[in-house]
Amino acid sequence: MPKEKRVWPEWWQWELKISAHMQKRFQQRNFTEMDLRRMMEHATGFRKDYIESRFTIDTRFRRKPWEVIVEPLSDEKRLEVITAYERWDDGGQKTR
């Protein structure tokens, strides 16, 4: 059975805006803006975040699951990347 193609919202095509918070995290989490853009290109899904206007993007980086938190900025037609991090399981352990 063919895999169902994910339907992405309009904001998925908007230009990325990297938040100041995200810029600080690049060095701390040992990745670059290019790595982030590659993660976004290979995203596998999205869901609403606990903050109403934000979304969590599911992706992978270095063979591990990661989450990227984004906020669509409708007036600017830009997608702001708030932060990105390796996903942890509910017990506080990094997923493998």
75 found inside a domain: yes
User: Domain residues for 49?
Assistant: 13-86
Specify the pLDDT at position 5: 64
Write the CATH number for 28: 3.30.2310.20
Helix (H) or strand (E) holding 22: helix 20-28
Specify the pLDDT at position 95: 45
- Tell me how long the chain is: 96
Helix (H) or strand (E) holding 27: helix 20-28
Specify the pLDDT at position 26: 95
96 found inside a domain: no
Helix or strand or coil: residue 53?
coil
Tokens, residue 85:
């991090």
7 found inside a domain: no
Rounded to the nearest angstrom, the gap between the alpha carbon of residue 93 and the centroid of all alpha carbons in its chain is 20
4 found inside a domain: no
CA gap 76, 61 in Å, rounded:
28
Number of domains in the chain: 1
1 found inside a domain: no
8 found inside a domain: no
Give the pLDDT confidence of 48-59 residue by residue, as tens digits.
999 999 999 999
What is the rounded average pLDDT of the residues 34-39? 96
